[in-house]
C-alpha cells in the first residue's frame, strides 16, 4: 500500500512493491538513500541494524539526520521525513561477514513523489535503535565487545590471553558494583556514628536496589561528562529513598581510588594462587629428575655437569621470590579511606560538627567493612599516593622476569632437543615446514613478559609528575597500565603453569651431549689431583688449556667426536 514493501528474512511473506524498482548498487542515485530498519527479533538487535538482511543502508532525509553506523542514533524524527528509499545489494565485505537473522522486517519508504512514511513506522525505528544501544552499552560496560553489532577494537588480553577470573575482576561493571558497596558502607557508618540525615529507609533502598542500569548510567555520563556523578544519579533513580544522602561528604576518589585498590587486592589473590601452582608443578618436576645428570652451560658454552632437577630449582627459586613479594604487597596494600576532596576531611568534620574522633572512626570503620582493617593511608591528597601503584607493578614485573628466564631456558633446551614444552598430537608448528615443533608457549611468555616489564615505567612517571594534591593526568594512564599489568601477569602464569605441567624430557639426548663433553669436563678433576700430588697449579692449568684448545679445534675443524 502506498508504495511500501515488507521484506521478511529468506524472502518469505513478501508483499508486492508498487514503487520504484530496487536498483543495483552501482546505479543507485546517491541523493535518495533512506532506509529504516525494523525488527522484533532479539537476535537481530545484536547486530548493526544497517547490515541486517545483508543490505547496506546509508540514511539521510528531510527534517532529520540518521546514522545507524557505529554508535550514532536518531537525533530527530518528524512527520516531515522524506521517505525516499533505495536498497543496496550487499557489498563483498558484507557478503563475507553477513550472518542472517531469524526474523528481520524492513520498511522501505516510497519514492520522493510518493507520500512520506507513516509516523508509526518512524516510532518503531526509533524504539528499535534505542534497544540496540541498550544492548551494546551493557556489553561495553561489562568489559566485552559486541563483535556482531559493530567493528570494535578489543584487547587481546581480554580475548586471547587472560583468565576469566582476572577479566571479570577488572571489568567495568565490577568496578561500578564496588562503588555501590562503598557508598553503602559510607552511609551505614555515618548512621552508626550518629548522622541523623541517614535513615533506615535510605540504607534499605541502597541494599535492595536492582543491579546497575548501565544504559541509564551511560545516558547520564553522556550528559554530565562525569562517570561518578552519572552513577550517583543512576543509583538515585533506582533507589529514590536514598537519593538525597548518596555520596554525602565524599569526593569522586572515595569510590574510584578505593575500588581500584580492592580490585588490585583481588587481582593479587588470583596471581598468588596461580604462582604457587606453578611452583608446585616445577617442584614435582625437580623431584622427578633430581638424579638425571645433564650438561650445565655458562655463557651458553659447556661447563660442568648438573642435574635436570637441580636446574629446575633455579626457576623455582625465582618464582618463590615473586610469590613471597606478592603476598607482602597484598598484605600491606592500603585503602585511600574517607579523606574528602584534598585529604583534610573537612567535609566530614562539618557533617559531624567538628568531632574529630568520629571522623577518624568513620575512616577506620569504612576501611574495615571493605576488608582493610588497620590498613588505610594516614595522609593523602585527593588520591592515595601513586607510589603504591609503582610498588604493586614492581611485584608484577618480577613475575615477568622470572617467567622470561624460565621460558628462555626451555627454548634453548628445546633447540638442543633435551627438554621440550608440551606439543599436542594435532598441533601445527609451521604452515610451511610440517616437521617444526616450535616452542610457541614459551615464546608467548617472553613476548608478554617484555610487555609487562615495559608497563612499569607508567606508574613511575605518574607518581613523579602529580602536582600538589593531585592532577588528573594520572587517570587515563592508570586505566591502561594497572589493569593490563594484572591481565598480562595472569596470562603469563597461565602459560607457565601449562608448560611446567607438561614438560617433556629426553634422557638419551641429554646423555649424548654429556658424553661428548666428558673428556673436557674431566680436566678439572685432573688439575686438582695433579696439584694434590705436588704439581704447580698454574703450570698445570696452562698445559691443560693448550691441549684442550687443540682438541676442541680438531673436533670443530675435522669433525672428530
Average pLDDT rounded to a whole number, residues 309-331? 98
Distance CA 28, CA 326 (A): 63
C-alpha cell at 415: 633447540
What does the alpha-carbon distance between residue 109 and residue 102 come to, in Å, rounded to a whole number? 23
Whole-angstrom CA distances from 146 to 71, 130, 138, 152 are 12, 16, 10, 8
Structurally, what CATH architecture does the domain formed by 167-245 represent?
Answer: Orthogonal Bundle (1.10)
Q: What is the pLDDT of residues 384-441, one digit of tens each?
A: 999 999 999 999 999 999 999 999 999 999 999 999 998 776 666 655 665 557 889 9
Mean pLDDT in residue range 319-326: 98
| 216-247 pLDDT per residue, tens | 999 999 999 999 999 999 999 999 999 999 99
* Contacts of 518 by beta carbon, 8 Å cutoff, 6+ apart: none
| Grid cell listed for 132 | 540496540
- Predicted pLDDT of residue 92: 37
Across-strand partners of 56?
A: 88
Whether the Cβ atoms of residue 257 and residue 334 lie closer than 8 Å to each other = no
Q: What integer is the mean pLDDT of 57-72?
A: 31
pLDDT of the residue at 221: 94
Distance CA 452, CA 398 (A): 9
3-state secondary structure 237-263: HHCHHHHHHCCCCCCHHHHHHHHHHHH
Residue 544 near residue 327, CB atoms below 8 Å? no
Whole-number pLDDT of residue 560? 74
Look up the pTM and report it: 0.71
- Does residue 482 contact residue 166 with C-beta atoms inside 8 Å? no
User: CA–CA separation, 214 vs 482, rounded Å?
Assistant: 23
Active site residues: 299, 430
Amino acid at each position: 500500500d502506498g508504495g511500501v514493501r515488507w521484506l521478511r528474512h529468506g524472502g518469505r511473506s513478501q508483499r508486492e512493491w508498487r514503487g520504484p524498482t530496487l536498483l543495483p548498487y552501482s546505479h543507485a542515485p546517491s541523493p535518495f538513500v533512506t532506509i529504516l530498519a525494523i525488527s522484533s527479533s532479539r537476535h537481530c538487535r545484536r547486530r548493526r541494524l544497517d547490515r541486517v538482511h545483508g543490505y547496506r543502508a546509508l540514511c539521510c532525509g528531510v527534517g532529520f539526520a540518521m546514522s545507524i553506523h557505529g554508535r550514532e542514533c536518531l537525533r530527530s524524527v518528524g512527520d516531515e521525513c522524506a521517505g525516499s528509499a533505495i536498497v543496496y545489494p550487499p557489498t563483498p565485505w558484507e557478503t563475507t561477514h553477513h550472518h542472517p537473522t531469524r526474523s528481520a522486517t524492513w520498511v522501505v519508504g516510497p519514492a520522493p513523489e510518493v507520500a512520506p512514511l507513516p509516523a508509526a513506522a518512524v516510532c518503531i525505528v526509533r524504539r528499535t535503535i534505542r534497544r540496540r544501544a541498550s544492548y551494546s552499552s551493557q556489553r561495553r560496560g561489562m568489559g566485552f565487545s559486541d563483535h556482531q553489532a559493530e567493528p570494535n577494537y578489543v584487547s587481546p588480553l581480554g580475548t586471547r590471553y587472560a583468565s576469566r577470573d582476572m577479566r571479570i575482576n577488572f571489568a567495568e561493571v565490577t568496578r561500578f558494583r564496588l562503588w555501590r558497596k562503598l557508598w553503602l558502607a559510607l552511609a551505614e557508618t555515618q548512621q552508626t556514628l550518629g548522622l541523623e540525615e541517614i535513615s533506615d529507609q535510605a540504607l534499605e533502598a541502597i541494599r535492595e536496589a536492582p543491579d546497575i542500569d548501565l544504559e541509564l548510567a551511560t545516558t547520564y555520563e553522556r550528559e554530565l561528562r562525569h562517570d561518578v556523578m552519572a552513577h550517583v544519579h543512576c543509583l538515585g533513580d533506582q533507589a529514590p529513598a536514598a537519593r538525597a544522602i548518596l555520596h554525602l561528604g565524599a569526593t569522586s576518589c572515595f569510590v574510584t581510588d578505593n575500588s581500584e585498590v580492592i580490585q588490585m587486592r583481588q587481582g593479587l589473590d588470583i596471581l598468588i594462587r596461580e604462582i604457587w601452582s606453578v611452583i608446585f608443578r616445577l617442584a614435582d618436576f625437580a623431584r622427578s629428575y633430581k638424579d638425571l645428570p645433564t650438561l650445565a652451560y655458562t655463557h651458553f658454552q659447556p661447563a660442568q655437569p648438573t642435574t635436570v632437577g637441580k636446574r629446575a630449582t633455579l626457576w623455582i627459586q625465582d618464582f618463590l621470590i615473586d610469590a613471597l613479594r606478592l603476598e607482602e604487597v597484598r598484605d600491606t596494600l592500603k585503602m585511600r579511606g574517607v579523606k574528602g576532596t584534598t585529604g583534610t576531611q573537612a567535609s566530614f568534620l562539618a557533617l559531624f560538627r567538628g568531632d574529630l574522633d568520629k571522623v577518624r572512626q568513620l575512616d577506620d570503620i569504612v576501611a574495615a567493612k571493605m576488608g582493610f582493617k588497620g590498613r588505610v593511608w594516614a595522609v593523602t591528597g585527593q588520591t592515595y599516593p601513586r607510589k603504591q601503584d609503582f610498588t604493586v607493578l614492581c611485584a608484577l614485573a618480577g613475575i615477568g622476569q622470572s617467567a622470561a628466564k624460565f621460558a628462555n631456558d626451555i627454548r634453548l633446551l628445546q633447540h638442543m632437543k633435551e627438554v621440550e614444552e608440551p606439543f599436542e598430537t594435532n598441533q601445527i608448528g609451521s604452515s610451511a615446514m610440517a616437521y617444526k615443533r616450535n616452542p610457541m608457549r614459551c615464546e608467548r611468555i617472553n613476548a608478554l613478559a617484555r610487555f609487562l616489564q615495559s608497563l612499569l615505567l607508567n606508574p613511575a612517571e605518574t607518581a613523579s609528575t602529580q602536582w600538589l594534591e593531585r592532577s588528573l593526568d594520572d587517570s587515563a594512564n592508570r586505566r591502561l597500565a594497572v589493569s593490563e599489568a594484572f591481565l598480562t601477569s595472569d596470562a603469563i602464569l597461565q602459560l607457565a603453569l601449562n608448560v611446567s605441567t607438561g614438560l617433556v624430557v629426553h634422557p638419551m639426548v641429554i646423555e649424548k651431549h654429556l658424553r661428548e663433553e666428558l673428556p673436557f669436563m674431566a680436566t678439572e678433576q685432573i688439575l686438582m689431583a695433579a696439584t694434590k700430588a705436588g704439581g704447580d697449579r698454574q703450570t698445570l692449568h696452562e698445559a691443560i688449556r693448550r691441549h684442550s684448545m687443540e682438541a676442541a679445534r680438531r673436533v670443530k675443524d675435522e669433525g672428530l667426536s
